[in-house]
Chains A and B, each alone.
Chain A
Amino acid sequence: MTVEFEVNGHMVTIDVPEHWLLADVLRNQMDFTGVHLACEYGVCGACTVLMDGEPVRSCLTLAVQAAGRRITTVEGLASEGQLNVVQQAFIEHHALQCGFCTPGFVVTASYLVNQNREMTREQIREALSGNLCRCTGYQKIVDAVEEALRRHQATDPTAEDN
């Protein structure tokens, strides 16, 4: 089936078998290998991408379902080589070790930051509970997201005041 959709700001038209997963097509057909597969049944979160701005599991999405949608992978978050606030905070807080789960966390956290809501550490932990990391023990990831939220709100005029 031929489908057309937007990936990281570019329109693509691609012919894919109907039963292929969006994750595989992003990885293998388009070389967005930052989309990682670590469980393939929607538990670990490594394959999380944004679809029309919302986090979804690309292993639980068929490639043909992306038709007409706007997909953002971890590769699409930095603009013109400028890391986004989450990516920057992840580096500063040592929020990654092996890096395999990192794209899923960074995508999820970027969504949270864009939501512009203040979050407690507990709320951040709950929001990240669908992403598994085996290296860091999560604490430094929570630190990084907390910091990213803080910085985003300090710089984004649309951020809520509360």
Chain B
Amino acid sequence: MKPAPFNYLRAATVDEVLQKLQEWGEEAKVLAGGQSLMPLLNMRLAQPRYIIDVNGLAEMTGMNWCPETQTLTVGALTRHRELLQHPLIETHAPLLREAAHFIGHLAIRSRGTLGGSIAHADPAAELPLVVIALGGTLVIQSLTGEHSIPIEEFFLGYYMTILKPDELITAVKIPGLANNTGYAITEFARRHGDFALASAAAVVTVDERGTIIKARCAVGGVAPQAIRCPAVDVSLSGARSPGDFAQAARQLENMIEPPDDVQASGEYRRYLAVELMSQAIGVAYARAVATKEARA
């Protein structure tokens, strides 16, 4: 199980990457953490002619918090391990830290990257899920310039995205959590580190009386891509009890139709998604109430 031959370029700048992407187009693959691409290469399921290694690009690492816009910009090359440890993540996007806990294993988290995980577009991956719930946007560059798009517009289905062959995700922008806001991710996997059979993320904001006034929910592993759940969000308006949360989560039943696979039946995955969503909302709600009370 060895990769087929390819030409390897260790890129020095984002500009160089963009030039080569434009030149080589679909014949090139960007190699970041490699925890998804390398298995595909080893299994020869992907046989690109060119590999562009972006690991050396300082421009795509690091993160910063902009107090004016209340936005955390996270470099696309940020490793999962950094998500677990970085104080800015801890302060402004702790949901990313919680999500990173679920990803693979120690050695996977040493290498895997935020941008890589999003670009790979595995429907069961945790980071796309929570970035959706957080309302994040992706910074995408090509030779023609830079633009940002909301992450929920990025995915097109199993391992498919709107990213054009000449484009590169360079950063992810995460809005800071509003006041009185709580967050959670829940998932169910057969073993530690496996891709989840289903996962759910919720970010909810409560008013002074502890009633949900705003929610952003997302589910993973139960559709061709991680998806937002607007029907759940709407249904959560005014919610404040576990019964309310469960009822809101049941909105998912009409939204998703996961297929059967070797691990589980589709029916079970749909059931799980509802259950996990209900639990995620519950945890997020409790946290929202706790922050509210801490502020009071």
Contact = CB atoms under 8 A, between A and B. Distances in A.
Interface of A: 1, 17-21, 24, 40-42, 45, 48, 51, 54-57, 59-62, 64-65, 67, 108, 111, 125-127, 129-131
Contacts of B43: 41
Given A19-B3, A21-B3, A1 B107 contact: no
23 contacts: A17-B5, A18-B6, A19-B41, A21-B2, A21-B42, A40-B42, A41-B42, A42-B35, A42-B38, A56-B110, A57-B107, A59-B38, A60-B39, A61-B111, A62-B34, A62-B51, A65-B34, A65-B53, A65-B55, A126-B192, A129-B105, A129-B192, A130-B107
A130 B43 CA distance: 19
B157 interface: no
B191 interface: yes
Contacts of A129: 105, 191-193
Which residue of B1, B81, B107 has the most chain A CB atoms within 10 A of its CB atom?
A: B107
Contacts of B159: none
Which residue of A42, A48, A67 has the most chain B CB atoms within 10 A of its CB atom?
A: A42
Interface of B: 1-8, 10, 31, 34-35, 38-39, 41-43, 51, 53, 55, 81, 104-108, 110-111, 191-193
A56 B193 contact: no
Contact of A55 (B2, B31, B110, B193): B110
Nearest to A40: B1
Nearest to B1: A40
B42 A127 contact: no
8 nearest A-B pairs in the assembled complex, by CB-CB distance:
A130-B105, A18-B8, A41-B39, A60-B38, A129-B192, A40-B1, A55-B107, A54-B110
Nearest to A59: B42
Contacts of B105: 45, 129-131
Contacts of B3: 19, 21
B11 to A, nearest CB: 12
Contact of B8 (A55, A57, A62): A62
A17 B106 CA distance: 28
Contacts of B192: 125-126, 129
Contacts of B55: 65
Which residue of A20, A41, A111, A127 has the most chain B CB atoms within 10 A of its CB atom?
A: A41
